Amino acid sequence: MHVIHELGQLIFPIRCFGCNKIGLSICSTCRREWHPHYYIRHISSLKVHSAIIYSPTASKILLAAKENGIKGADVLIVESIIHVLSQADFSDLDIALVPIPSSLLSKRRRGRGFIIDIVGQIAQQTSLPVINALELARPVRDQSGLHSAQRAKNMNGAMRLRAGVIPRADLVLIDDVVTTGATLREAARALTAAGCHVVGSVTACVAQPLR
Ligand SMILES: [Zn+2]
């Protein structure tokens, strides 16, 4: 078994998913860069709590999880969001986690709803309830190539409360990264319009500076 594993490593060497260096699945340099802190940003009236400043390494870790389904990258993201949830002052509230929905296209490409899956893993570890409250009301474009105004237009009116979900209070939106805030702003708008009360948002990464 051991020999076969080592042979496998010669043919398919394990590479760091942060920097591509051969060796561990995440090297010590990248692991240090992904050290969860606690940042707060305001997007309109929505308070966004985040763990990691977005960097080229952070971007590769998110992509490794999202596009390549690498379990170790999922673990880093889950761990950072749980860290922020423990820092944010939600203790007096009866919170439930709401995943930001993925587009059908990315679900098909990745074989899973990425944030829904991440939030499921968080719920398993924290016992916090999850409400899959949001859905896309129309197709949206991939945001990565869009600037701030295009992102706002892309997301404006794009989400709604899923049919059959009972509106409730103390919802916390969960996403992997906040950049311009267009996605979170739309998610909060859709939930608020449907009679829910959003108490904040938690993301693994926060991109700075705003462009
Ligand atoms: Zn590395």
Which residue is listed with tokens 């390494």?
Answer: 57
28 C-alpha to center of ligand 1: Å? Answer: 7
Kindly report the pTM of this predicted structure.
Answer: 0.91
Q: Which two tokens stand for residue 4?
A: 């076969």
31 C-alpha to center of ligand 1: Å? Answer: 7
Return the domain boundaries, the chain: 1-33, 35-206
132 C-alpha to center of ligand 1: Å? Answer: 34
In tens, the pLDDT along 129-138 reads: 999 999 999 9
Q: Are 158 and 137 in contact (CB under 8 A)?
A: yes
In tens, the pLDDT along 21-67 reads: 888 889 999 999 999 999 999 999 999 999 999 999 999 999 999 99
CATH of 35-206, one of 3.40.630, 2.40.160, 3.40.50, 2.115.10: 3.40.50
DSSP summary character for residue 101: P
Nearest to 197 by CA among 111, 81, 66, 95: 95
In tens, the pLDDT along 158-197 reads: 999 999 999 888 999 999 999 999 999 999 999 999 999 9
116 C-alpha to center of ligand 1: Å? Answer: 27
160 C-alpha to center of ligand 1: Å? Answer: 39
206 C-alpha to center of ligand 1: Å? Answer: 20
Percentage above 90 pLDDT, the chain: 75
Q: Which two tokens stand for residue 95?
A: 């919170």
Length of the chain equals 211
CA angle (169, 183, 79) in 5-degree steps: 75
